[in-house]
Homo-oligomer: A and B are copies of this chain.
């Protein structure tokens, strides 16, 4: 097996540290230690912790399975539900911690860093676009009520999801997930 590049190791360790600890609590030393590379090598690949955070956020966004959301072989509402179930199960797999790195960066650091704020905004916009397209498909197939604006509804679902993750982590229980699915799929979208 080919050894991964040092840059890849740093990105993956950064994603892990930023996701589990947050931006401020994650440090370059902790990231290079976790990556198993010398601290000095960090700056051969990234200008700053902020620069790594932007790349790690893109990597995290690429793991959100947005392509599956657009898969025409699956019923639109089924793939929308599967999407949020995947995200839910990921958080459950971490013992109902971590939540969404996009939302976490938005809450913790967007006020203070325009570069990261822009990266968060772009990640949310890509995500909302994919959900909007799925909702529009679901309206065409009659699975979602026709009077909802898909763009507005997609934005709202994402906001509700980000807040749901905060509630679930705070309770360290899956109850907030049940509330989310009941209030969206069984109520709002019908």
Q: Does B111 contact A97, Cβ atoms closer than 8 Å?
A: yes
Tell yes or no: A164 within 8 A of B by CB: yes
Given A104-B108, A111-B97, A187-B148, check contact A160 B156 (CB 8 Å).
Answer: yes
Given A156-B180, A159-B176, A187-B188, check contact A167 B124 (CB 8 Å).
Answer: yes
CA A83 to CA B180, docked complex, whole Å: 22
Within 8 A of B (CB), among A139-174: 148, 152-153, 155-156, 158-167, 169-172
**Which secondary structure dominates where chain A touches chain B?**
helix
Interface size class of A (residues with CB under 8 A): 35 or more
Chain A residues in the interface with B (C-beta under 8 A):
20-22, 24-25, 97-99, 103-104, 106-112, 117, 120-121, 124, 148, 152-153, 155-156, 158-167, 169-172, 175-176, 179-180, 182-183, 187-188
